[in-house]
């Protein structure tokens, strides 16, 4: 299942890769020898990262992507195939959150968060999954969250619900695509030293949050990025349908 393709330089598309955890994932995959497509609605940030990784544009390129639009995923895939012939890895990282008490979430906000986070993961996995099936090989790596496991209130009920949905979608795609040499796994980070966490948690509340984490610190986004690189590589050929916790012991199963 999912045996590596021989003598092929593999290409990975990372959504929401212009900054934060997504940028770290793109860096880790590039360092591991993958060509990377830095896809984001922030075209300026994506271009800056692509230049950082490869000024010549031979192993790192950008693609404008709004994950709430399935047609954007198809355009990105078509661009990759035109440029490099195929794609082997999709990392569904792009996400939105909005800290709101559950009784104050509007239907519009709920639907927007679910459409971007869960809907984007579904659309990307489906569209790239078809390409991977034709190739007889592929890796789909989805970014879930601790919030999807414990109903975390800091990130909002809509965010938690979307991440729970992503964990379920991971299992569905893993089961249905395994016969075609495709693996699908999820990563569920806890609080990371990332812009999103610092935006959600006021500085005066940070010591209290850290006190609840057995490891006593925020996670380094590089921990998540390195795990993505592992799951995208040959060492994870027999791993599918799994959800990997990266939370410093904050949630144990």
Residues 204 and 90: their CA atoms lie apart, in Å, by 37
228's tokens: 């993505």
Contact predicate 140/96, CB 8 Å: no
Q: Is 159 a catalytic residue?
A: yes
Residues 123 and 105: their CA atoms lie apart, in Å, by 24
Sheet with strand 35-40: strands edge to edge:
60-64, 35-40, 11-15, 89-92, 138-143, 182-189, 243-246
Q: Are strands 89-92 and 60-64 parallel, antiparallel or unpaired?
A: unpaired
The one catalytic residue in 34, 122, 128, 159 is 159
SS3 99: coil
Residues 84 and 97: their CA atoms lie apart, in Å, by 34
Catalytic positions, please? 159
């Amino acid at each position: 299942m999912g045996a590596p393709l021989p003598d092929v330089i593999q290409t990975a598309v990372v959504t929401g890769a212009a900054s934060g955890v997504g940028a770290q994932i793109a860096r880790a995959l590039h360092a591991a020898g993958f060509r990377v497509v830095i896809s984001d609605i922030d075209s300026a940030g994506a271009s800056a990262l692509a230049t950082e990784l490869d000024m010549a544009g031979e192993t790192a390129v950008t693609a404008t992507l709004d994950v709430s639009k399935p047609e954007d995923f198809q355009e990105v895939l078509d661009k990759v195939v035109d440029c490099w012939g195929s794609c082997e890895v999709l990392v569904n990282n792009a996400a939105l959150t909005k800290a709101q008490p559950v009784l104050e979430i509007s239907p519009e906000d709920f639907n927007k968060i679910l459409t971007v986070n869960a809907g984007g993961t579904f659309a990307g996995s489906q569209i790239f999954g078809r390409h991977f099936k034709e190739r007889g090989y592929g890796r789909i790596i989805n970014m879930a969250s601790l919030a999807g496991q414990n109903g975390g209130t800091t990130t909002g009920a809509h965010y938690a619900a979307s991440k729970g949905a992503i964990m379920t979608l991971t299992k569905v795609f893993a089961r249905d695509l395994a016969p075609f040499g495709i693996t699908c796994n999820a990563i569920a980070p806890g609080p990371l030293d990332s812009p999103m966490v610092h935006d959600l948690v006021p500085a005066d509340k940070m010591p209290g949050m850290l006190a609840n984490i057995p490891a006593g610190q925020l996670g380094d986004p590089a921990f998540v990025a390195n795990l993505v690189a592992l799951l995208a590589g040959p060492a994870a050929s027999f791993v599918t349908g799994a959800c990997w916790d990266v939370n410093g012991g904050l949630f144990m199963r």
